[in-house]
Chain A
Amino acid sequence: MTEDTGASKGPSLEGQTSGEGRMRTADAAVSAEDLGTSPAADGLGELKALDRETAEVLVAVTRAMYPHDRVPNVHYERVVASLDGKAAADEGTGRLLTEGVASLATFTGRWPREFGELPEEEQVRALKRLEKGAFFKAVASEVVVNLYSQHDIWPYFGYEGPSNDKGGYVNRGFDDIDWLDDAPDYRDVPVEKTFVDPVEQVSTEERLSKEGQ
């Protein structure tokens, strides 16, 4: 449930987190080296169950579901490598993934291997038609749990992670916010964007009228 506060006129989310993007990309590369991987590496590795084409289409599918432009493919490939592991452990999962990828032909009218080259809006349109199904859910939940748990992806989000071995954050900026005194008051900025919660189907307008604003 998101609500824009009209600030889209002035500040927008776009770009606000990419100011330090270059630095963070470098951080990610460094921490990836610690893990013995690099953003350029092939995160798929030796596939155990899926064929390579299916796996590569899945990489494109995971990125289309959760697109982070600054995040290199290796992170999505690791998600698919994990799915491959599950497919190896469970035949039903393997079938679900293989048939799901094959079904993209129906929903896009193109060969599945071409999915990654489709314009994003076409990818999204196809995925929307699939989102209630088991294939989508299996892939989506794997991305949500696996992608954002990869330690070397955290720098892209400005997250520094565990701190115990560094003595916590108590001497490393736990209270260093310095802009609050000058923070603008956006309470009177009208809400412009209508956002409909995909599950509860309640629009911002309905919520606001209920709140008497």
Chain B
Amino acid sequence: MPAPFDRNDDSVVVIVGSGAGGGTLANQLAQKGIDVVCLEAGKRHEPETHIDDEWPAFNMLAWLDNRTTSGTWRVAQDFPNLPAWHSKCVGGSPVHWAGCCPRFKDWEFKIKTTYGDIPGANMLDWPLTLEELEPYYDKADTNVGVAGTNGLPLHQPDNNAKVLLEGARRMGYKNYSTGRYGHNSAPYDGRPATIQDGFCFEGNRSKAKWSPLVSDLPKGEKTGHLEVRPESMALQIEHNGSGKVTGVLYADADGNHHVQKARVVCVAGNSIESPRLLLNSASSHHPDGLANSSGEVGKNYMRHVSDTCWGIFEKPVNFYRGNTMAGIIEDESHNDPEGRGFVGGFYMETIHLGPAFMASFMNPQQWGRDFTELMDAYENFAGMWLVGEDIPATTNCVTLNHDVKDQHGLPVPNVHYDDHKNDAEMRDYAAAKARELYQSVGAIKTVRTPPFPASHNMGTCRMSERPEDGVVNKWGQAHEVDNLFVSDGSQFTTGAAANPTITIVALAIRQADYIAEQMSHNGI
């Protein structure tokens, strides 16, 4: 029976979420002939409806359901109900992503071994190595169409990238370029080359930027084995007495509840909603939440060390002309605790914002002429985002806030985060390097922007070798429920310095092979 599927069809794989993890997995399974129902909380906004205007696009694409925050992190103060900036739409957060595709380094899969134990940290090695994942990184690059791979050239640097790259040269850095980048540098996979339209966080009208919305989901739908069901908010995963999950309770656009039966359930709702769904699925069998005997569901929430540096120059840069992220320096992505005083590495990547977001994010507490003189210099800005590995900690976590209910009557997620000393030191070091780089090419002023709500959300259902250390095994399969998988960045054991999307895509492709193999001999 081709899609759409009956809600009582218990032979389907149900995937919650249609982003980098869920959307990729859905297509991979569909291509293998496996029937998939993909429940997506958000609406389907086709690329031609995307809006090149920051706030209207944000209101269209972002996850805006109520959330709460706690902890000493700056975001809790500036954006108390917006701990993260990810999407609620078909295609998920890749609709909003900028496209940087660095891979994890081998030692970033084993930081407990590499860094040793650190007070305040919940260190753990991945049950997976770079060597094992490398073939899937290659497949992910092919799937996405990453510049610098698969015969695709690197992008031409835009104005913002040119400033970054010249600064890198003057700083004596060696490894800088426009980088591996998931936005077509030439026509690829039926999608056109970039027109450098200046908008990535707002979606992408031209389809040059990869996302499941323009790639995986339509491909999967074409097979007849994939049904994407938008405006379907998963509320609870149901299970039977023999320890298997049996379906997903969800609310449709009108708030009516339905159950979609399932043979396998894969959770890919991003690192806040995924653990929330497991915690909201608590039962007498799973009193602390589904698949949570370890107590690790929701723990080790990671968001990357994040800082932004704006350089202001004497002459115009016009940094908004071009893709949002279009240059990367990799020289600081190594681990050098003796030399730099902190463990882990970071990348320096270009970023630009339009005046609307610049005003909101540059320094959310500032006003008066100190603020407006900077805005007046907008066209002379260059910008870079600093992104580094943050320390996994049990105390950084997503929990249910039973005092606040959402539109479905469920407790909202609370996100608690405290910067570890290592995070703060890396951030200050990176900010100083960024400032120095821009000064080296004539910046007369630099502005340091505090962390935004994160688009990189990781951890919270971590992979582990031993069931007591985490939620899922090396395939993303729940340790205690064979037919339950986690398929998004939640399964990251640790976060590395790299932008997470390409790793999520690689893991999803790998997971699809495993699920298909397990289903073929009735292992699940």
What is the interface of chain A, defined by CB distance below 8 A to chain B? 1-5, 7-8, 11-14, 16-18, 65-68, 70, 124, 127, 131, 140, 144-145, 147-149, 151, 153-154, 156-164, 167-170, 172-177, 179-180, 183-187, 189, 197-200, 207, 210-211, 213
Residue from B196, B356, B376, B428 in contact with A169 in the complex, judged by beta carbons closer than 8 Å: B196
- Is there a chain A Cβ closer than 8 Å to B295's Cβ? no
Cα distance A167–B354 in the bound complex, in angstroms: 18
Residue of B nearest to A144 (CB): B359
Give Cα A200 to B54, complex, Å: 28
B contacts, CB < 8 Å to A? 52-55, 74, 77, 156-159, 162-163, 166, 170, 194-199, 205-206, 312-318, 320-322, 354-356, 358-360, 363, 365-380, 428-429, 432, 435-436, 439-450
- The reply to whether B444 and A186 contact each other, CB–CB distance below 8 Å, is yes
Q: Is the CB of A147 within 8 A of B359?
A: yes
Minimum CB–CB distance from A203 to chain B (whole Å) comes to 13
Contacts of A13 in B (CB 8 A): 312, 373-374, 376-377, 444-445
Q: Taking A5-B445, A176-B318, A198-B366 as contacts, is the C-beta distance between A157 and B379 under 8 angstroms?
A: yes
- Among A2, A68, A169, A198, the residue within 8 A (CB) of B372 is A68
Collect the chain B residues with CB atoms within 8 Å of residue A184's CB.
442
A sample of 13 inter-chain contacts (CB < 8 A) reads A1-B450, A5-B439, A8-B444, A17-B378, A66-B371, A148-B375, A159-B355, A160-B318, A161-B52, A168-B195, A168-B197, A176-B159, A187-B436
Q: Which residue of A lies closest to B78 (CB)?
A: A199
B363 lies within 8 A of A173 (CB):
no
Task: Indicate whether A175 sits within 8 Å of B445 (C-beta atoms), given known contacts A67-B369, A162-B199.
Answer: no
Q: Is the contact region of chain A dominated by helix, strand, or loop, or is it mixed? A: loop
**Residue in B312, B322, B368, B373 with the greatest tally of chain A CB atoms within 10 Å:** B368
Would A186 and B428 be within 8 Å (CB), given that A174-B322, A180-B166 are in contact?
Answer: no
Of B354, B370, B375, B444, the contact of A7 (CB 8 Å cutoff): B444
What is the bound-complex CA distance between A207 and B77, given in angstroms? Answer: 21
Chain B residues whose CB sits within 8 angstroms of the CB of A197 once the complex forms: 363
Nearest neighbor of B361 in chain A, beta-carbon distance: A144
Please pick, from B355, B370, B429, B435, the residue contacting A154 in the complex, using a CB distance under 8 A.
B355
Residues of B within 8 A of A127 (CB): 367-368
CA A153 to CA B378, docked complex, whole Å: 12
Contact check, B198 vs A183: say whether CB atoms are below 8 A apart. no
Taking CB atoms, residues of chain B closer than 8 Å to A12 are 444
Contacts A2-B445, A164-B195, A199-B365 given; indicate if A185 touches B358 (C-beta within 8 A).
Answer: no
* Nearest-CB residue, chain B, relative to A172: B321
Q: CB distance B355 to A17 under 8 Å?
A: no
The answer for the CA separation of A186 and B358 in the assembled complex, in Å, is 25
Q: Is the CB of A186 within 8 A of B439?
A: yes
- Residue contact B442 to A158, C-beta cutoff 8 Å: no
User: Which residues from B are CB-within-8-Å of A164?
Assistant: 52, 195, 197, 199, 205-206
User: In the complex, A144→B376 CA distance in Å?
Assistant: 14
Given A12-B444, A67-B369, A68-B375, 6 other A-B residues pairs in contact with their CB atoms under 8 A: A5-B444, A18-B376, A144-B359, A159-B378, A163-B195, A186-B444
